Structure 1
């Protein structure tokens, strides 16, 4: 089986030089049961393609160039080679994930650094074009009304669901109304809360993409690949979009790790329209999601190392239905959950925990809304950044140990073997099966 590997490059303190190639047994095999081998670099980039996504029907791969804050498309030109397809499109600070719509008319890019969710149009050959920024997230734990009591930090996740529109105050509109009421003599005393960065014109939006705002001297960008504890060490609450998932029927979910939110969208002619928000517990840090065959959405929280189960009620509003901690062994501020993957039959969910360097096996029960941890296994790597289920094999990318390992899955009880195969790979952060 042939897979593409994304990783950290020199601009982020890593050793990758582009998109790598991984072989698991024979290149054309449908399973990953054979020997592992890193086969070299398929596309030299000179940056950090930390996340990869495939076009659903064309031989095109999209890379989130995290250090450059851009997305680049690559067209496959041979078994083990790629060529750039169009120019890189500027997206936002520390873009960390891309996902392609099922109809291949656009892709979504999410930015850990500045919280942007950006829709990028795709043409008939998969080339990225115009970019449109979605509405910024609003921190549900900071009241819009300055005289309102603070949100109870101990509130449970299940009370944090609501629909849009309705609920929430637009601070920019409120400030504008106050300036008008104050009149020309005192209007200057009311701050203008319509931040310039929220203006597409100010962001330099064009057919070529977005110009990134300059970072103030001394600001951190979370690009230290030696630790990648970006969210764990965050000194303040900042919007940090991390992943998008297409749920079917035109519905999209995105996580905001910094504001503890899962937001729901629909795509239209003018961009993404926000249709719902679910608030998770304060400081939980929703990172990645998996849509289960039951229709439920499983959300992995990086900071609290939990999985939450989300589902729609009868009115279609998404809510938290349940959840579970991954392990009592996790340490707050030290361990950080990274990735979710479902077994082929959907009976188990596998979640990685960096720091502990383990993989948690979680059983799915009932109608898909009941999760029960069953085992905690050694990941076999240091800082397991990403993992992938291929039939009865779990491939795990070790970002800090510079390797990929294969573990055998026990389909009866969800258990994992110790690593049975291993290969060196430069700073791997993402594994994508080749089409």
Structure 2
């Protein structure tokens, strides 16, 4: 049976030392299997069918890198191109494996790149936006629409991606003023969105009507929610400030539990079987939380990784 692998992205530039670029990890033993030099690979995505991985290079002149994945998980850089914007922080591949969307946080642009049969990038469409916009996450919906959270504009921008990529005729979805939408996830007929600026989690129906808004954390003080994920009837959200993971029921958002994240500044996490892997950016580690009845618990296990910001578990 092949070992389960994970790729860790972060902000450390390629220095040739521990944690440089993208780190390959064997999950069961937490053994470090290798590192691939890449500058600022803050977010990663895998092709749904091909042994190909994509990474943003988060800098003033943003980049998108394409890596070939060997049978043992090792990466080889095969191509790199501009992200068509500044400080790209998220990217996603559509389910068909023919499009790659990049959210450029710095200037708010969104770029959509074609993908050929070898996983390489082809033509690109770029969508600029007004000053002050901050695109933070791109998600392909089941309805042939690309959804992009805009933290600076308090809205979800929409693009049609069935055929020629173009703005949605209905325009963006306006969310609560001051919310600062960061990460979102869809489950069933509901959308869940974490508000980085107001510390909330909100649930919407299929028509983007807000059904409920709740605090992401029950602790006092500032909270800047980061990653949000829905699994097994629960909504999980990382809380930066309280340094916790909250568990809410789906779709009601009733609180179930709030636990320590095993580090400082939980920027991203991934669920795999009975474990949650949390990228704690400011404590330089991936904390392993054991899942029991849907609730994560930290038992002291940490994998050292410099400024981690993404945990990718490819299929």
What is the TM-score when the length of structure 2 is the normalising length? Answer: 0.91
Gaps of 5+ in 1: 26-34, 138-236
Supply the distance in 2 between the matched residues of 1:23 and 1:330 (Cα, whole angstroms).
37
1:18 aligns with 2:12: no
For 2:235, the equivalent position in structure 1 comes to 349
For 2:211, the equivalent position in structure 1 comes to 321
3-state SS of the aligned residue for 1:400? helix
For 2:179, the equivalent position in structure 1 comes to 284
For 1:252, the equivalent position in structure 2 comes to 146
Q: CA deviation at 1:102?
A: 1.1
Deviations 1:195-238 (A, max 9, x none): xxxxxxxxxxxxxxxxxxxxxxxxxxxxxxxxxxxxxxxxxx81
Supply the distance in 2 between the matched residues of 1:88 and 1:130 (Cα, whole angstroms).
11
For 2:268, the equivalent position in structure 1 comes to 386
Gaps of 5+ in 2: none
Q: Could you list the runs of 4 or more consecutive aligned residues of structure 1 that deviate by over 6 angstroms after TM superposition?
A: none
Relative distance call for 1:135 and 1:77 in structure 2 (3 A) is same
8 Å Cα contact 2:14-2:20 kept in structure 1 = no
1:418 aligns with 2:306: no
For 2:79, the equivalent position in structure 1 comes to 86
Paired residue total: 309
3-state SS of the aligned residue for 1:283? coil
For 2:49, the equivalent position in structure 1 comes to 57
Q: CA deviation at 1:70?
A: 1.1
**Structure with more of its chain in helix, by fraction:** 1
8 Å Cα contact 1:95-1:112 kept in structure 2 = yes
Summarize the alignment of residues 296-335 of structure 1 with structure 2, pairs less than 5 Å apart: 296-312=190-206, 317-331=207-221, 334-335=222-223
Supply the distance in 1 between the matched residues of 2:30 and 2:86 (Cα, whole angstroms).
34
For 1:408, the equivalent position in structure 2 comes to 290
**Structure with more of its chain in strand, by fraction:** 2
Relative distance call for 1:401 and 1:244 in structure 2 (3 A) is same
Deviations 1:8-37 (A, max 9, x none): 12389x974211112211xxxxxxxxx323
Alpha-carbon RMSD: 2.1
Q: CA deviation at 1:252?
A: 2.1
Supply the distance in 1 between the matched residues of 2:209 and 2:166 (Cα, whole angstroms).
21
Q: Which of 48, 51, 72 does residue 40 from structure 2 map onto?
A: 48
Q: Which of 9, 12, 16 does residue 12 from structure 2 map onto?
A: 9
Q: Which one has the largest radius of gyration? A: 1
Q: Which of 122, 126, 139 does residue 133 from structure 1 map onto?
A: 126
Supply the distance in 2 between the matched residues of 1:361 and 1:434 (Cα, whole angstroms).
24
What is the TM-score when the length of structure 1 is the normalising length? Answer: 0.67
